[in-house]
Amino acid sequence: MTHGRPEEWMSRARTPQTRARIRRWARLEDLSRWILSVGAVAFAAAVPAGIGLALWFWIAGVDRFDVFAWLYGSGLGVLLIGTGLDVWTNSRLVEARFADGRRTVGVIGEVVELPETDIDGNPAYHLLVSAELPGRPALRRTIDWGSGDSSGPDDRWAGRAVCFRHNTFDPDDEHDVLFDGWPEDWTESRR
């Protein structure tokens, strides 16, 4: 999930390379959204066009059903290309936004189950995380969590340590966060 605009993200980046990556992926994300919109309109317009063509072919006695495959296939193809490109660019943009981010270990204070579900119909959650940093106010962040299965996190996760990346030390910038794994996984990978 992206919050804000590229100018805001670029202002938080610490290196010119990261700013360039953010700018490039933001442009590609805009392009993917445009392609997705064109695909949605084309596919939606194919339905009445297909009905009209079917009536005309029936009245005129035309036997060209391959036209329908092209009509619906092209609209669906553009829609699928836009969707795939959007998913790909969104994940790359999120990675670019936090490329210069600081890695912090916090503690889950509360797990909140959201009323809406994820794309697969599984429960979605907010993990309310806080982190104490020396000489700074405590950071409070909200990590969006789609469970991926029907079990998901529960109240036992409260008190569990979690790693996250952030770009600012603003204690109340709840959406300046990217889940970065669990501390036990991070230490095992360094062995």
Q: What is the pTM of this model?
A: 0.70
Q: Is residue 23 scored above 70 in pLDDT?
A: yes
- Are 110 and 128 in contact by the 8 Å Cβ rule? The answer is yes
**Cβ 165 vs Cβ 143: under 8 Å:** no
- pLDDT at residue 3 is higher than 60: no
What six digits make up the tokens of 151?
């079990």
pLDDT, tens digit (0-9, with 9 covering 90-100), for 95-117: 898 988 889 999 999 888 888 87
Domains of the chain, start order: 6-98 (no CATH), 101-189 (2.40.50)
DSSP state of 133: -
Measured distance CA(76)–CA(146) in Å, rounded: 27
Residue 42 phi/psi, 5-degree rounding, is -65, -45
Alpha-carbon separation of residue 101 from 62, 96, 161, 169, 179 (angstroms): 62, 9, 18, 10, 11
Task: Evaluate if residue 118 carries a pLDDT over 60.
Answer: yes
CB atoms inside a 10 Å sphere around CB 62 = 11
Distance CA 160, CA 125 (A): 15
Q: Are 22 and 93 in contact (CB under 8 A)?
A: yes
